[in-house]
Structure 1
Amino acid sequence: MGLFRRRKRGGVVHPTSTPTPAPEPDAAFPFFERAAADRFRSLVRETFAEAGLPVVVHPGHAVDAEGREFGLWNVAAICSDLHERNWRATIEGHVDRVLSSWEAPSGFVGLEHDEAHFRAYSRLMDPAGVPRLDEHPHQEFAPGIVELIALDKPDSIELFDAERVKEFGGFAALRASGIANLGQLQVEQVEHVDTGEATFEVLGGDSVFTASLALLMPGLAERLTGRRATEHGWLLCLPDRHQIAWHLIEDAGVLAAVNTMAGFAAQAYATMPGPLSPHLYWWDGSSYQQLTSIADDGRISITVGGRFQAMLEAVTRGERG
């Protein structure tokens, strides 16, 4: 599942009279050293050009002359586990697949109404990763996370734009189908994490819709663990599209869970494919509040105030009796 996992680097460290500073990780691809990430981006630029599509390569993505964006996280993560001599072939395969998917007809061509609803899934995404977000009907799930409607075909996933949403019955109708279809997804792996100080649950899976199962909370938690949410709500993090973590708040154990889950969210977001959000959230009874912020140097801050502070006082006061 990737819980607390970091990629390991081989090699033996030999002591020297003058310690060599550790290479600085790349900001966009932290599993690369900065110099290696720059070489990777250079190869991406060359490969796209050789395929007849010049692009401008930014730290974490590429953009062509028409403004189309190409995410690079997944192929970068794959290359980070390979010898550098194998990067070019891997990138060429990625570019070929991207360009081939454009040449294939849209999944919406010839799509009937019933099939559109059968294949519709509500999907949670980082708004920064959705090109032309304003052209796709959506709503905020939590700060920095939006819910859209995706069409899941055997060989592709496409987002419903405004025209398609209107054609197939509107956002509310498609969302109802999307939520129902999420409920039919097979649950792949659930892990109860107990660090000795904090406990929380992690659901992981290979589906790109795994994190979107958070839309089924708190019913999801009850179905998988048999425990119901209390009036105090729950903590939630969605570090990447393949993982959800939550803690149902019952007592003062929430204090340790906040700190542990904040670290888990930031680490998984930085190291796992398909990053979604590095933050920890609290369901306050009507919406999600973002509890964390992350400085440029990686330091995590937790905001405790307002209703969250009142909730913490209530659960700790209850334990003191």
Structure 2
Amino acid sequence: MGLFNRNRQPAEPTDEALPELTVSKAQRLRDLVRGSMAVAGYEVTVYAGHVEDADGRQFGLGGLARRLAAPRVPDKKWPTIVDDHVRRLLASVDGPDEFDVPTDDLLERTYLRLYEAGALPSGNWWTYGREALPGVLELLALDLPDSVATFNDEQVAKHGLDRLRTAGLANLRREEADERATHEGVEILVGSMFMASTVLVLREIVLRTTGEAHLPNGVLVAVPFRHQLLYHVPRDGGVVEALNTMAGNAAAGYDTEVGPISPHVYWWQDGHFQQITHRDSDGRIEVHLEGGFGEVFTRLFPGS
């Protein structure tokens, strides 16, 4: 082994503005974003940690850098991931004329939708949004024939936040999974681009899927990407295997699928979410058994 290590090249330094990436990979990211924006008709000025268009709008690169730095994301997928990211950002910022209609015409197509907070462009377009889960923002989205557009502050003020949010929750309640599987006690639901967002009506999803109305130990849940929801109702020592399964699947789905939301597992109880998993500096998954979930885990798995 010493012979093989003797001529080993020193590791490339990390980028100052995008420390998740090396200097060369950070520059590749900037080049890809510039190219994707140009194809979409936007000439941008590229800075170390963001790009800026001719109107002064800034689009941060930090969330995208974290996405691409994940160990399971191969370099060959970078262009596709960047193109999808840029397309979604521009669709969010430049909402279509469909918003300029009577409010009643919007309600059946309005949904509450989850977004990775760090991946949204900087600016004051969505100050109405709230952090639904740690690191995950809840915004209002309008379902269009070929895409989804996000309501900005001006559009929400025009049509009314309370009325739009009530409609958004009602429409989430009508969402049903196209596919369902169970693995190691974990329910895996796959559906439309609003499937992950149904975590906002989790109690009803659990009741409809597995028939459990009484949830004294809460629910473990993950929303790795927009089309998938994972959950497990803790009942006994099986929570250990379920948590391991969820942690691995959530991280893998977040790293590799389109529309990533969060790589983490959360514990839900009575509408509140506690983050259970974390990633260390090397990308390894850590489980934190603390707070309310720590008490539940100790009760269900006394040997921990």
Q: Considering the TM-score relative to the shorter chain, is it more than 0.5?
A: yes
CA change 1:180–1:63 in 2 (3 A) is: same
Letter in 2 for 1:209: F
Task: Map 1:130-209 to 2 at 5 A.
Answer: 130-131=120-121, 132=123, 135-168=126-159, 170-194=160-184, 199-205=185-191, 207-209=192-194
Residues 26-59 of structure 1: per-residue CA shift (max 9 Å, x gap): 999x9x9996785565354356458561342768
- 1:235 is displaced (CA, Å) by 0.3
- Give the match's secondary structure for 2:157: helix
TM-superposed CA distance for 1:238, in Å, is: 0.9
| 1:298 counterpart (257, 266, 283) | 283
- Flag as ranges the 4+ runs of structure 1 deviating above 3 A: 17-21, 32-41, 46-52, 70-73, 76-79, 90-105, 133-136
Superposed CA deviations along residues 114-162 of structure 1, whole A, max 9, x for unmatched, are 1111111011112223333564412221111121111112234222223
CA contact (8 A) 1:239 1:279 kept: yes
Give the fraction of aligned pairs with identical amino acids, expressed as a percent. Answer: 33
User: 2:87 and 2:119 mapped to 1: Cα distance?
Assistant: 21
Displacement after TM superposition at 1:268 (Å): 1.9
Deviation larger for 93-102 or 252-261: 93-102
**Superposed displacement of residue 276, structure 1:** 0.7
Q: Partners in 1 of 2:228 and 2:254 — Cα distance?
A: 10
CA change 1:254–1:164 in 2 (3 A) is: same
The unaligned stretches of length 5 or more in structure 1 are 1-16
Q: Distance in 1 between matches of 2:259 and 2:98?
A: 22
- In the alignment, the residues of structure 1 paired with residue 142 and residue 207 of structure 2 have an alpha-carbon distance, to the nearest angstrom, of 28
Match of 1:220 in 2: 205
How far 1:224 sits from its partner (Å)? Answer: 1.9
The structure-2 alpha-carbon separation of the partners of 1:165 and 1:46, relative to structure 1 and needing over 3 Å to count, comes to closer
SS in 2 for 1:240: coil
* Structure 1 Cα separation of the partners of residues 142 and 176 of structure 2: 18
Provide the TM-score with structure 2 as the length reference.
Answer: 0.75
* Inter-CA distance 104–298: structure 2 relative to 1 (3 Å threshold): closer
1:42 aligns with 31
Partner SS for 2:97? coil
Alpha-carbon distance between aligned partners in 2 of 1:264 and 1:257, rounded to the nearest angstrom: 11
- Give the counterpart letter for 2:226 in structure 1: R
The corresponding residue for 2:111 is: 121
Which 5+ residue runs of structure 2 have no aligned equivalent? none
Task: Show the 5 A alignment for 1:1-321.
Answer: 39=28, 41-46=30-35, 48=37, 51=41, 53-56=43-46, 62-65=51-54, 66-69=56-59, 80=76, 105-109=96-100, 111-131=101-121, 132=123, 135-168=126-159, 170-194=160-184, 199-205=185-191, 207-316=192-301
Q: What secondary structure, in the 3-state scheme, does the structure 1 residue paired with 2:259 have?
A: coil
Report which stretch shifted further, 128-137 or 306-315: 128-137
Task: Give me the CA root mean square deviation.
Answer: 4.1
Decide which moves more: 149-158 or 173-182.
149-158
User: Where does residue 3 of structure 1 map in the other structure?
Assistant: none
